[in-house]
Amino acid sequence: MKQFEVPAFYRSPLISKIKAARKVQDPRKKDFTPTEIQLGEFTFLLARHFGFCYGVENAIERSYKALAENPGKRIFLLSQMIHNPAVNQDLTENGISFLQDTNGKQLIEFSDLTPNDVVLIPAFGTTLEIEQQLKARGLDIQTYNTTCPFVEKVWNRSDKLGETQHTIIIHGKHQHEETRATFSHAAASAPALVIKDMKEAEFLGSFLKGEKTVQDFHAYFEGRMSTGFDPNIHLQKIGVVNQTTMLASETEGITQFLREVMIGIYGQENIKNHIADTRDTLCYATNDNQTATYGLLEKEADFAIVVGGYNSSNTSHLVELLEQKFKTFFIKDATEIASDFSIHSFDIHSHQLQHHPSFINNQSKQRIVLTSGASCPDSIVEAVMKRILAARYTDQEIEQLCVQFA
């Protein structure tokens, strides 16, 4: 796979050494057991796969390339490059401005842009409507378009479904930048509908079975269907794609559920005429990170820490998996661990930071599960490890403990 030029301060000598060793041991990625690292009285169970993915490294490399190649020009990002606060802060400190926030709210009007400005499309991609607006301003949106190729793969799959007259069901979070972009591209090819989870799939199933009215359907899915969507017509032949960062198991469950509903309505012998035989369209990194998280669940530990941006979809799903077994703390970086070794952890259910006192106890040894999302730099994960070690060791002792790996 291509190697990208990412600023050195995003890298971690410690974690790079660990990842390199696992790659040599398991070049075909068949072993998803975690790596156990003994550092003094702490054992860290690092997920087999975590951290920057192909799409993220590509986006970061091209962002810094835009800075280097356009001195003196105004450089804008359409919205957050990726869902990691440290990366986005670094880009803004280097002079890049955001045109929109993550919800699509305009921060700088497109009318303020000139053809001499540089605009970067983030890894999530963007909608056809926004592309048209930028082009109308005379802006080049291709040179620094960092749309992840795995997102584009979903768009291509949607195009194919449209060609065969399927309605496109998108498993995703309809407010997420990627899903907004995918919905726009899908709706250009076919009727499209966004569903978030199994609960919404079950409502869709109830309509298909005649248990809900058209009025019920439109009220429930308001704002999440393409213009002119007629559920009586457009749900007779469907295909499922997904936001690339959703839970693979949930996408598979939703697809199978809808298949069973269609079988009940049309019969097994006719099923190929009513639901496409699609595989999930998750990216490789999401699949690898989630499978590696299941590997963590097979181990025993005192607690788990997941590091990443609080608005990162793929990271929140790692938390969702780990909290089934472990007390799980979701932190953006080491600053969430206070000097008294209490911790501020983001709750994915209430969407609030919660304070947990003395999360590191006085036991002689502790086992800690540790992973991060696909948009989190390894340097931040290393900083979290060292912050935990600081509960019992001096800076000099920590460096001595880490040097055996780095």
Tell which phi-psi region holds residue 384, choosing left (phi > 0), alpha (psi between -120 and 50) or beta. alpha
Q: Running DSSP on this structure, what letter comes out for residue 236?
A: S
- DSSP string covering 144-194: TB---HHHHHHHHHHHHHHHTTPEEEEES-TTSHHHHHHHHHHHTTS-EEE
**Where in 260-399 does DSSP place strands (E)?**
303-307, 328-331, 343-347, 352-356, 366-372
Could you confirm whether 336 is annotated as catalytic?
Answer: no
Angle at 58 between CA 52 and CA 77, to 5 degrees: 105
Token representation of residue 90: 């670094």
Distance CA 159, CA 153 (A): 10
Token representation of residue 143: 């040179």
Distance CA 234, CA 266 (A): 15
Q: Running DSSP on this structure, what letter comes out for residue 302?
A: S
Which candidate in 178, 250, 320, 336 is catalytic? Answer: 178
**Which residues are part of the catalytic machinery?**
178
